[in-house]
Amino acid sequence: DTAVSQTPKYLVTQMGNDKSIKCEQNLGHDTMYWYKQDSKKFLKIMFSYNNKELIINETVPNRFSPKSPDKAHLNLHINSLELGDSAVYFCASSQDLGGQETQYFGPGTRLLVL
Amino acid sequence: GENVEQHPSTLSVQEGDSAVIKCTYSDSASNYFPWYKQELGKRPQLIIDIRSNVGEKKDQRIAVTLNKTAKHFSLHITETQPEDSAVYFCASEATNKLIFGTGTLLAVQP
């Protein structure tokens, strides 16, 4: 009964491949996010969705395409993977939209591009 | 643009000592400042937050102070224990998102 879950936990792949990461939350929240945490531990928001609608796209390359089939799920598809995409990707959710909402993070997906 | 500076980047203390982490934000419209703790290999988790209508908030061994005039806020951990060792992130409210600081790696030496 994990609140925010992600799959897979680890992903090792070759440059140029396409991969997807899935996220699900069972908290009944309306808003979901994708963050990238690089090797220096910087946490950078990539996207946010509210009730399946894209709210934030933080100048992420269009090789990254999020998709929210319903408000409990937010997936991230990455095309033509590059070495610089290696990072930990965290999904998060919050009750509602807004900068004052507590965000609950998933366990992270560790992506390594070779 | 919106920015949150966090210092120090690393902090090593002896068990039982206090630790202080400081952040400065740029957006004067921000009214909400959470702190997240991330243990090694784990997810970030909220440990305490403060809103702009108060200057200080305390929860057992952790406290946060806010100076809106100077746009500073700080995390104070007293009587540190080895399990406090982690990366701590401050954040400030922006439009529909949080802006995170660069993180502080706290090491508590037994």
**Considering CB atoms only, which of B30, B43, B97 is closest to A90?**
B43
**Which distant-in-sequence residues (6+ apart) come within 8 Å of A49 by Cβ?**
A31, A32, A33, A55, A66, A68, A71, A74
pLDDT tens track for B67-82: 999 999 999 999 999 9
Closest listed residue to residue A43, CA positions, set B96, B71, B6: B6
CB within 8 Å of A80: residues ≥ 6 apart: A16, A17, A18, A63
What does the pLDDT look like over A25-53, one tens digit per residue?
999 999 999 999 998 889 999 999 999 89
Query: How close B88 gets to chain A, by Cα (Å)?
Result: 10
Spatial neighbors of B51 by CB under 8 A, at least 6 apart, are A100, B31, B32, B33
Residues in chain B with CB shorter than 8 Å from the CB of A103 are 46, 98
CA distances from residue A16 to A39, A61, A83, B7 in whole angstroms, order as listed: 21, 15, 9, 38
pLDDT at A1: 61
**DSSP states of A35-69:** EEE-TT--EEEEEEEETTEEEEE-S--TTEEEEEE
Query: How much of chain B exceeds pLDDT 90, in percent?
Result: 86
In chain B, residues with a C-beta closer than 8 Å to the C-beta of A99 are 30, 32, 92-98
Residue with token string 């409210």? B93
Looking at the DSSP assignment, which residues form a beta bridge with residue A65?
A77
In which residue ranges of chain A is pLDDT below 70? 1-2
Give the one of B43, B96, B102 whose C-beta lies nearest to A98's C-beta. B96
**Best mutation target, A9, A103, A104, A110, to test chain B (most B CBs within 10 A):** A103
Contact: A100, B45; criterion CB under 8 Å: no
Parallel, antiparallel, or unpaired: how do β-strands B104-109 and B10-14 relate? parallel
Interchain CB contact of B43 with A (< 8 Å): yes
The answer, for B33 touching chain A at a CB cutoff of 8 Å, is no
Secondary structure class of B83 (helix, strand, coil): helix
- For testing the chain A interface, which of B97, B100, B104 should be mutated: the one with the most A CBs within 10 Å? B97
Each of the 110 residues of chain B gets a pLDDT tens digit; together they read 678 999 999 999 999 999 999 999 999 889 999 999 999 999 999 999 999 888 999 999 999 999 999 999 999 999 999 999 999 999 999 888 999 999 999 999 99
Q: Residue B19, Cβ neighbours under 10 Å: how many?
A: 20
The confidence score (pLDDT) of residue A93 equals 96
